[in-house]
Structure 1
């Protein structure tokens, strides 16, 4: 005998066909695809750029006109691959390189499909995004300021369920930083760590996606002149390695790009794992999960920690607040399957 199984909003996707376009960023797209498939949907996932990696990023950001014909041919090939599939939903994450003409082709091929866009980068770091949002049925962004300017929905990022499982792990690293080296991150991190007790254990993973970028910074940026190449990695962490390190950390350090107000993925992973956070992003104080006992906001120019921050324990976040940032809930909100909840403090 079986009891009644409570239906979730995402279960309405059962039997639907979804064209999912997203960058393979640290495995997050694969996890989202897994959620969609678990709900019973058929998912066709593609990269959002025809050329991936460092070269693709350089071309699409610095020379978009050069890549535009290649991008259009790439999407025409995708449409050709699924010309006999009745697509119900076109779900695009970021969509760097997608312009109005490509969205128009989507609509011509699949007139009954709903087109949904989610942005996990700021307008100032994603050229054309402020126009891109106008050509989708629904658009959401992780950046509160961009949401207000463009009049679109504000939906913060998410944490994966595996991070919730890290809450019971015994942490043995006092403070850690895991992230890509960009903007002033390295300089801010060095200034912060200079103020941390020398007895505190630490783990740093500083990732450069290309040695070309590393050498450009090593030669041209004074903040790198004293750095050693051995401090950096040119191979990203795997999803499982990242998960383990977050679980082992008492305090995670987050240094966002100066041009964004949206919260980074690292912030949400710390929330999901119930780990303390040190961040330069002052906008975190507006969110409903903010607690100064768990989150220290620092000045990126003169960073310092409250004296007892590393030693004091974590104060658990209310379950109803935590639930809103879990990937399944996030997906339901982004796809319009449930109402958008409030994320900010009242």
Structure 2
């Protein structure tokens, strides 16, 4: 792969409010890939603008987005990039990709969303030099490579040997969207001889908007006092995972790929308590005894959280599968195939 990397100049476009983009860039740099520029695909991450993006109202004629995307392509061209990686993007359009391809710049794509949630990339799929997704169903449907997500090294169980020995039964960290409020409150209400020891790190981009949800949702009303509109640090999340016997994972509705939480929970040495049925089939068999799947909130009450024995340390093979190193290895193979192969 060294020969393929040599001479390539990579620009990366993705959401800056997700730490995943920065982690991917850092791992590329560690491999010797020349990162000449990074850009946020969105012109603003203010709450008001995030709402417009979420409602699909950012592409109108008076929006700042078209000017911003033009400025991004100008920046990529000025940086003399040979390759561009679009990672986790949702607002990039065909005109953006066409302009780069016309300059003989190779454009690559990776998404951690399914087409059921964000499908704008389908309009420019034919222009891409490589394309990959975390969703195996989309991979088969749209002739994309299947590349599962990853966990960053901060979650590695070996970094938290001084943490209290799994003194929490269940931990959960995530944005409280869709059905998550109902699921979290169902977990809080599980009847058992000893109350569950829970730690909840609940995020929503606006407490005011969540308060409006609380007017019509009893579950949201109960969770409102615990909602934060500031994101949690990776270090704080990893520390909580290291103390938890189970980590609750609730994918987006209709999502077929494994979430980042899947990888983070397992790398932290915890068991995965997931509403994503794909985890059992998509993870290697060696993880089978570390996964508990549920299909609805009522099943939470049937899990015996006390019976699970301590887990052995992860093997090197398990750790590699969960890691950003494996993830970037796969992307590099797709993006920069060695001429000697």
**TM-score interval, smaller chain:** 0.7 to 0.9
Measured after TM superposition, the shift of residue 325 of structure 1 is 2.9
Q: Is the 8 A contact 1:166 1:247 kept in 2?
A: no
Measured after TM superposition, the shift of residue 309 of structure 1 is 5.6
Q: Partners in 1 of 2:46 and 2:241 — Cα distance?
A: 25
Q: Partners in 2 of 1:316 and 1:160 — Cα distance?
A: 17
Matched, 1:217 2:213: yes
Q: Partners in 2 of 1:143 and 1:295 — Cα distance?
A: 19
2:262 to 260, 267, 272: 267
Specify the SS of the correspondent of 1:314: coil
Q: Partners in 2 of 1:216 and 1:310 — Cα distance?
A: 40
Matched, 1:46 2:39: yes
1:293 to 289, 295, 299: 289
Q: 1:216-256: per-residue Cα shift (whole Å, max 9, x none)?
A: 2111334334x153221121101221222222222111111
Paired position in structure 2 for 1:302: 298
Measured after TM superposition, the shift of residue 51 of structure 1 is 2.0
C-alpha RMSD of the superposition:
2.6
Measured after TM superposition, the shift of residue 57 of structure 1 is 2.9
The equivalences for 1:105-184 within 5 A come to 105-109=99-103, 111=104, 113-164=105-156, 165-166=158-159, 168=161, 169=163, 170-184=165-179
Q: Partners in 1 of 2:305 and 2:74 — Cα distance?
A: 60
Going from structure 1 to structure 2, the CA distance change for 1:67 and 1:137 (only over 3 Å counts) comes to farther
Measured after TM superposition, the shift of residue 189 of structure 1 is 1.7
Q: Is the 8 A contact 1:185 1:255 kept in 2?
A: yes
Going from structure 1 to structure 2, the CA distance change for 1:87 and 1:338 (only over 3 Å counts) comes to closer
Q: Partners in 2 of 1:183 and 1:88 — Cα distance?
A: 40
Paired position in structure 1 for 2:11: 19
Going from structure 1 to structure 2, the CA distance change for 1:234 and 1:67 (only over 3 Å counts) comes to farther
Measured after TM superposition, the shift of residue 193 of structure 1 is 3.2
Regions of 4+ moved over 6 Å: none
State the aligned residue count: 329
Paired position in structure 2 for 1:70: 64
Paired position in structure 2 for 1:81: 75
Going from structure 1 to structure 2, the CA distance change for 1:88 and 1:339 (only over 3 Å counts) comes to closer
Matched, 1:319 2:311: no
Q: Is the 8 A contact 2:129 2:335 kept in 1?
A: no
Q: Partners in 2 of 1:242 and 1:68 — Cα distance?
A: 39
Q: Is the 8 A contact 1:142 1:157 kept in 2?
A: yes
Q: Is the 8 A contact 1:98 1:132 kept in 2?
A: no
Paired position in structure 1 for 2:25: 33
Q: For structure 1, which runs of at least 5 residues remain unmatched after alignment?
A: 1-8, 341-346
Q: 1:94-126: per-residue Cα shift (whole Å, max 9, x none)?
A: 2211111100111223x1x32110010111211
Specify the SS of the correspondent of 2:298: coil
The more displaced of 260-269 and 48-57 is: 48-57
Specify the SS of the correspondent of 2:72: helix
Q: Is the 8 A contact 1:68 1:97 kept in 2?
A: no
Q: Partners in 1 of 2:328 and 2:5 — Cα distance?
A: 11
**TM-score normalised by length of structure 1:** 0.85
Measured after TM superposition, the shift of residue 12 of structure 1 is 4.6
Q: Partners in 2 of 1:192 and 1:65 — Cα distance?
A: 40
Q: Is the 8 A contact 2:108 2:130 kept in 1?
A: yes
Paired position in structure 1 for 2:329: 332
Paired position in structure 2 for 1:257: 252
Measured after TM superposition, the shift of residue 84 of structure 1 is 4.0
Q: Is the 8 A contact 2:238 2:268 kept in 1?
A: no
Specify the SS of the correspondent of 1:58: helix
Specify the SS of the correspondent of 2:90: coil
